[in-house]
Structure 1
């Protein structure tokens, strides 16, 4: 039987400090998974230029290409220092960051990007790159933010929405906690803000919370059996999901969320909840597509 192919950890680099932080995280992730690390810089083509500007365009192309090659060399040195002994390769690709990284994710076990950058990665979280990558990438996507260092020993914070689409995120949350040998905090947030105020006074919030706790327990039960080594803390809060996740990220080493779901986490990443988590979480965020 043929050996199963295990892809690399892919990281997008652009020379910014944020991207170098992403490189350090990606190197640590590659080492812990015993897979290669692949560094990718993206050279975005210029818009069509008038013929009389071709000399300037050629000079610009050469200057940017040289700068990106130097960026790959520096990133390789940083990665080797962060995780000595790992296998590293790099490539300068032409295209647009979201498209290139989505393509790279098809053969990756994990795709890593920084929270802000230069050049093609400018405005990563407030623009379309991270959203597009999280929505269309084939691998989990790690957006490195905050000042956490790999191996911090802090818990993994898992957002659980109770939907079948969120099962992949739940499984990944357990796996990440097990691999890091840290506790897992499973957070389920529910809110009655969509209830008509005229009937809100009739709601039995105690019964509602009991049902939400039962839902969380049901979603975790099978995975707890699969990962008996993981200590699980269940957190059920009456709050807006994005607000709850951002607040609890203050003492977490990693936040794990699904790319879409229902209830409080519906439309995660593509909607306002996910964008808020990506913009305001105080630690790296791992987005898992279901």
Structure 2
């Protein structure tokens, strides 16, 4: 695996196919290779071995061959549809979340469906997507089964933290690749009525926050002068605002943790809310 490779968690499900198609589009724009990885978890229960394969009894080598054929065909079909994209396929044995986390250390980007086999339409994101996104060593994109606007902007949430700096860089690069606008959203918590000073000026606070965002943007404006940037600064709830902004976006990007997040801890609340409720693919940028 090369450091710029796009790793796709693939199990033959509808959501995994959406993730694969998103990864192929990304690869076509960036020139990166794609690697489909099916993690085969043997179960000691008769009647079900792994997603996308016929029932059997552990350890059923026929089931393993079915998985290998599933991955081989998916990789071959993808390569035939996108002849300018290099596509590989792997089958690994073990716990899916753990192995995908380990493999992410050698990847440039990891792409997952929000749910695999066994997920039900309309439910929250699956445990594998949440766990891998929390612990991966590279940026992760979770592709949800929604109607993302292919012409919409790339939306990024920032709060001045190191994590949001990484998110901003990831987002502006994708906006430049796609030749679409970048919408930079900064949502701050206004002081509650009880703690609000008598001379509190919300407009002045908004102006200060906007100035901080513009400072973050300065080098990216110079690097990508053709990207149209919209800055949206407002008081409110960050997660709810970004979920709403995702309705008209083709991608929403956040950092793994915001201000106050502790290094090594799980995802921040905003990232988790977006993975569960966004209306378009969600990218969680991580610092290596």
Counterpart Cα distance in 2 of 1:94 and 1:104: 13
- Structure 1 unaligned regions, length at least 5: 50-55
2:144 aligned with 1:147: no
Task: Please show how residues 1-290 of structure 1 align to structure 2 within 5 Å.
Answer: 6-46=3-43, 58-59=57-58, 61-80=60-79, 82-118=81-117, 126-145=125-144, 146-148=146-148, 152-192=150-190, 195-200=191-196, 202=198, 203-262=200-259, 270-290=267-287
Shift of 1:78: 4.5
Instruction: Output one character per residue of 1:40-75: Cα deviation in whole Å (capped at 9) or x when no partner.
Output: 0011133599xxxxxx98555335424422431342
Instruction: Output one character per residue of 1:111-148: Cα deviation in whole Å (capped at 9) or x when no partner.
Output: 1000111169x999645422332232222111111233
Q: Mean alpha-carbon deviation: is it higher for 58-67 or for 249-258?
A: 58-67
Q: Is the 8 A contact 1:36 1:87 kept in 2?
A: yes
Counterpart Cα distance in 2 of 1:206 and 1:263: 25
Counterpart Cα distance in 1 of 2:183 and 2:32: 27
Return structure 1 stretches of 4+ with deviation > 6 angstroms. 266-269
More helix by share: 1
Counterpart Cα distance in 1 of 2:226 and 2:176: 7
- SS of the residue 2:194 aligns to: helix
Q: Is the 8 A contact 2:258 2:268 kept in 1?
A: no
Counterpart Cα distance in 1 of 2:236 and 2:117: 35
Q: Is the 8 A contact 1:20 1:75 kept in 2?
A: no
Counterpart Cα distance in 2 of 1:242 and 1:75: 35
Instruction: Output one character per residue of 1:244-280: Cα deviation in whole Å (capped at 9) or x when no partner.
Output: 101011111111111112179x999623322111111
Q: Is the alpha carbon distance of 1:48 and 1:105 closer, same or farther for their aligned partners in structure 2, counting shifts above 3 Å?
A: same
- SS of the residue 1:197 aligns to: coil
- SS of the residue 1:278 aligns to: helix
- SS of the residue 1:79 aligns to: helix
Instruction: Output one character per residue of 1:225-259: Cα deviation in whole Å (capped at 9) or x when no partner.
Output: 12112110001121100011010111111111111
Q: Is the alpha carbon distance of 1:263 and 1:6 closer, same or farther for their aligned partners in structure 2, counting shifts above 3 Å?
A: closer
Count of matched residue pairs: 275
Let me know the Cα RMSD of the aligned residues: 3.0
Counterpart Cα distance in 1 of 2:248 and 2:76: 30
- SS of the residue 2:195 aligns to: helix
Q: Is the alpha carbon distance of 1:163 and 1:271 closer, same or farther for their aligned partners in structure 2, counting shifts above 3 Å?
A: closer
Normalising by the residue count of structure 2, what TM-score does the alignment of the two structures yield?
A: 0.84
Normalising by the residue count of structure 1, what TM-score does the alignment of the two structures yield?
A: 0.84
